[in-house]
Amino acid sequence: MARRLFVLNGSNLNMLGARQPEVYGRATLEDVRADCERVATELGFELFFAQSNAEHELVEWVHDAFREDAVVVINPAGFSFRSVPLLDALRMLGSAVVEVHITNIHARDAVYQRSLISSVARVVIAGAGVYGYELGIRAAHRLASEGSA
């Protein structure tokens, strides 16, 4: 049976392609999903892909990942900077967490530069655009293959 991979997306990412394309690019969340499905299939993962603007839904999905011992790639978006509940949920995971940001959060306004989630992430990818999801999945696969996820 294939190992489960959760790719989770936080607030406003459902608006990719329409929201500030000069910052986030023109790819939609469906484009991201298709790329993630392609890479997950190539690497032998069974993919769960989801997005929510509601913090509690992300926390519940992380709980599901915990129960399934799944690998997690997460773009917490705005929840990166204030969500202690999401941070606490991610801390429970026995597998590696890979954090992805479409933009380089370190080059943005100060409010976007300090991600709480980075403190539990084994890998952080920022600024690679939506290609960062592929990099994140490949990093998660490498960690899982090495037994450190």
> Which positions are annotated as active-site residues?
24, 101
Known binding residue 105? Answer is no
- In one-letter notation, the amino acid at residue 40 is A
Known binding residue 88? Answer is yes
Known binding residue 35? Answer is no
Structure tokens at 75: 């773009």
Q: How many CB atoms lie within 10 A of CB 115?
A: 20
Known binding residue 103? Answer is yes
Per the annotation, where are the binding residues?
75, 88, 102-103
Binding residues for substrate: 75, 88, 102-103
